[in-house]
Structure 1
Amino acid sequence: MDFSDSNQVINYFNRSKYSNDENKKALSAIMLSGGTVNYVWRLVFTDNTTAILKQFPASLRSNPNFALPQVRSNLEYEALCIVEDQLPKDSTWHAPTPYFFDENHHVILCQDMKGESLFDLLKRKGSINNDMEWIAKTLVQIPRDIAGFSVSNISMFENSPLIPIMNGLYARNPARAIELGLLDGQAWFDRAVATESSATRQLLHGDYWPASVLIDLQEKKIALVDWELARTGHPGCDFGQMLANIALMGESQAYDHEEAKKLMQEMMSEWQSTDGFDLQAAYIKRIIQLSNVSHWHLDDTNAIIQKLVKASSQLNV
């Protein structure tokens, strides 16, 4: 079964039990832009409704030699079910409703969400200026809500096989910090490691960044997608990841950097932590890791990272 081929995707769905039970037939399949890991298709049905079909291959699409555990499909499906069951329907944010899960082929069919990613919105000047307050409040509330879910099978997320893979990426941080002129890189790394183990019974989204957030400006709703890295930890880990991404967007001419800076300020004014979580370390961990990513288009990466690290002392106030 080749999930890179639209005709095979359509045939797969139309032969599925869900298609038969719901009397749904797919007319077309449109591969969505973005993503180097999974196959994500928008299915268009005969009644003009749509849904998202997501297949989780055994390796990176961009690098077949980089193996990835396909159990990540189970993690995403379980996380979507938890949100569907426990998040109040009148919440400002939501996640796609899961329709079916084919464990044998590692396929999830779920709701097609409205909205545009925050990542793309911040590429256009003034796109969220009139919506800054509610967006900031919701972005802060999301990690708290996720951490508050009751998860009966929490060990599934605590023992995610994706965690060692991600930790392997972060292990490069001390050397990268030195490259960036941060001579105390190992100290930052040690502090960041401590934040990861600060909560083992709370759920995290695990990939909380602007491309995972779809914003419907008309309905004033946020949809959170891409849950395959869901794991356990303190909500500050998710929040620190989002802050780091927005901070880098605030230093780049490729985005509305002034809008990004305002959004970060609004989020920080909403964030309050009384349990001593080291947000500064979680944030700097992500800043260092993300400094390797080319899409920021930073003029002077070393100078900008040093600037952001120096300014980060306010995060633990």
Structure 2
Amino acid sequence: MNSRLLRLSGSIVLDLLRALGIALGIVVFTFFVIRMIPGDVVDVRGIEGSLTYSQQSAMRAELGLDKPWLTQFADWSLMILSGDLGQSARFARPIWELLSAVLPSTMLLGATALGIGIVLGVSIPVLAMLYPRSLWRGVVEVITIWSITVPTFSIGIMSLIVFAVWLDWIPAIGNFFVPALILGIDTAGSLAKALYEDMRENESAEFVRAARAKGLSRTRIILRHILPNALTVSIALIGLMLAGVFTGAITMEVVFGLPGLGTLTLQAIQGRDYAVVQAVIIWLGFAVIFANFVTDILRKLVNPRLRTT
């Protein structure tokens, strides 16, 4: 028992170190890549005519934008380590206030889409296994092809044209259910195929043959034996899909005019508000890293064979 706990603890520590390394890479990469974009918030304000040339120089010095990039990075890192995300030059508000105002909307949309995706992505393969001669197997293939070939952004725009403009079934701005459903189906397609194939592979396993020999029904074998063994891969996929769900949620917020990180990020990019864009990207990166870290732990709790990797 102690050796098992030791292996699990060591594996978790290694996962944590990997997560911290990836997080550091995201921070450094985000900071310098954003500054490669031509112009900054002072240039945008100057083009808008709200600042004179002398005011632009004073503002650039005040924001530290006239310093070398490495100096800016050192100053910004010290500020972040102190727990301060900084001030938005575009919106003249603390960044944590901006994020706290829009995060609930984005998280609700992403969580709803993920919930729809998990329900569809698990139930459809199970139905395809329970009824192998029905249409459910075809449904698995259809949503898989949908997920691979159809961009959610395009489907969002098409849904607006068809359901909001042509049919007038939904409002053109502020609809929540349609983007959640689009993202949910896309998530389900990524999950359903992998789970279905894994369940079919487990169908010929020795423990399934033993269950059949005991006279257990096909339904019980699938739900009690095959499905739990196939969920290990699915748990890992759900962690990976979180990135797609939340970045997709940001895109859908822009398309459907929903208040959230997407709208805030678009406005910050247009205004070259580096600090806000950095905060959004880093928050998303950390959220995905944390989700993958948790799912890795869950996988190792479910499957002890993974604890040595």
TM-score, L = length of structure 2: 0.23
Structure holding more strand per residue = 1
Higher Rg: 2
TM-score, L = length of structure 1: 0.22
Q: Structure with the greater relative contact order (CA < 8 A, sep ≥ 6): 1 or 2?
A: 2
